[in-house]
């Protein structure tokens, strides 16, 4: 699994929508990739604050900002 795949699957993972095979690969990537682990942590924190998945409130620009921040982590 690549980092961009991971980012795409975060919402489905938190909703429990991944099939067992994909979830296993997702968890495996998280164990190996510090950037993605932090991304998931941030995502969870956001959800805790909102009390719901941010799907509805996360506009495309906000999503782009998150993905850019994510790339910066990897670049650093
Ligand atoms: Zn990653």
Question: Along the 76 residues of the chain, how does pLDDT read in single tens digits?
Answer: 999 999 999 999 988 999 999 999 999 999 999 999 999 999 888 878 877 655 555 566 666 777 777 777 666 5
Distance 44 CA to ligand 1 centre (A): 16
**How many residues belong to the chain?**
76
Contacts of 13 (CB under 8 A, 6+ apart): 23, 26, 40
The pLDDT value recorded for residue 54 is 55
Distance 50 CA to ligand 1 centre (A): 25
Helix (H, G, I), strand (E, B) or coil at 54: coil
Render the burial of 14-38: b for 16+ CB within 10 Å, e for the rest. Answer: eeeebeeeeeeebeebbeebebbee
The pLDDT value recorded for residue 75 is 60
The pLDDT value recorded for residue 58 is 58
Distance 24 CA to ligand 1 centre (A): 14
**pTM above 0.85?**
no
- Assess contact for 34 and 27: CB atoms under 8 A: no
């Amino acid at each position: 699994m690549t980092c961009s795949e991971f980012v795409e699957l975060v919402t489905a993972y938190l909703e429990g929508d991944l099939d067992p095979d994909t979830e296993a690969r997702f968890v495996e990537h998280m164990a190996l990739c510090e950037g993605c682990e932090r991304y998931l942590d941030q995502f969870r924190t956001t959800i805790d604050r909102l009390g719901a998945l941010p799907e509805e409130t996360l506009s495309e620009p906000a999503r782009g900002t998150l993905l850019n921040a994510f790339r910066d982590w990897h670049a650093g």
